[in-house]
Amino acid sequence: MILNKKIIEDAKKNNKVLFFDKAITNVPNWNSFIDNLNYKFNSEKKYSLIEDKRMVNDVLIYNKMDPCVFNILTDNTESKTIIEAENVLSIFNKIMGFKSGCVKSLINFVGNEAKYYIHADEHDVLSWHCIGQVEWRIYPNIILDKNIDPPTDVDEPYESYILNPGDVLYVPRGVVHQVVVDQPRASIVYNYYY
């Protein structure tokens, strides 16, 4: 499938997830991620433990199993950037037709299996997978109850998408999903609010 505006618009209307195999293969290497991460840790800026969804330069680590998450491309000072991520941002912005709310890098350094909680986002996601492998599970039958803690294990059918370097996944706002990691990986996610 070719990544383009028409296909994304149709998927958005129909609340459909799209998988683009090897769509953008010039992925950054570990050093690019680690350089950027080191910059964030060495900077004077505060690291937030509470996610601010928009345009905040932060490093997020909720617990040991969670990925290290840091925003990129949102710092107007001398932040080290990941040039490949910037190039992809301009491609995605053309496809999506507006500016991204934020661009985040998600990294797991440890290969322990981690299942993140099942949730739905309030924004569209274009996830560009860069290093290692990651699985996205889409749960078409689950309706989440905001009053209870989101589950990590359920006995419900799901669609599985295994992402390898260069693959892109489009997940419209509201689609219930879970990310499962069983090896070190790095992904860059572009969140589109509207």
**Residues lying near Fe ion in the complex (CB under 5 A):** 121
- d(Cα 97, Cα 6) in Å, to the nearest integer? 11
DSSP 151: P
- When the beta carbons of 121 and 182 are compared against Fe ion, the nearer one is 121
Nearer to Fe ion, 75 or 124 (CB): 124
The least CB distance from residue 77 to Fe ion, in Å, is 28
Nearer to Fe ion, 66 or 121 (CB): 121
Tokens 């383009």: give the residue.
4
| Closest distance of CB 134 from Fe ion, Å | 12
Instruction: Give the shortest CB-123-to-Fe ion separation in angstroms.
Output: 9
Q: Least CB distance from residue 138 to Fe ion, whole Å?
A: 11
How many angstroms separate the CA atoms of 101 and 128, rounded?
16
Q: Which lies closer to Fe ion via its Cβ, residue 32 or residue 125?
A: 125
Closest approach of Fe ion to the CB of residue 168, in Å: 15
What b/e string do you get for 43-52 counting C-beta neighbours within 10 Å, with b at 16 or more? bebeeeeeee
Q: Residue 150 or residue 166: which is nearer to Fe ion going by CB?
A: 150
Q: What CA–CA distance (Å, rounded) separates 65 from 90?
A: 32
The CA angle 133-115-145, to the nearest 5 degrees, is 130
Residue 98: CB atoms within 10 Å: 9
- CA-based nearest residue to 53, from 138, 125, 128: 125
Nearer to Fe ion, 78 or 145 (CB): 145
Q: How far apart are CA 157 and CA 169, in angstroms?
A: 19
By beta carbon distance, the residue nearest Fe ion is 121
Spatial distance between the Cα atoms of 27 and 45, rounded to a whole number of angstroms: 27
Least distance CB 115 / Fe ion (angstroms) = 13
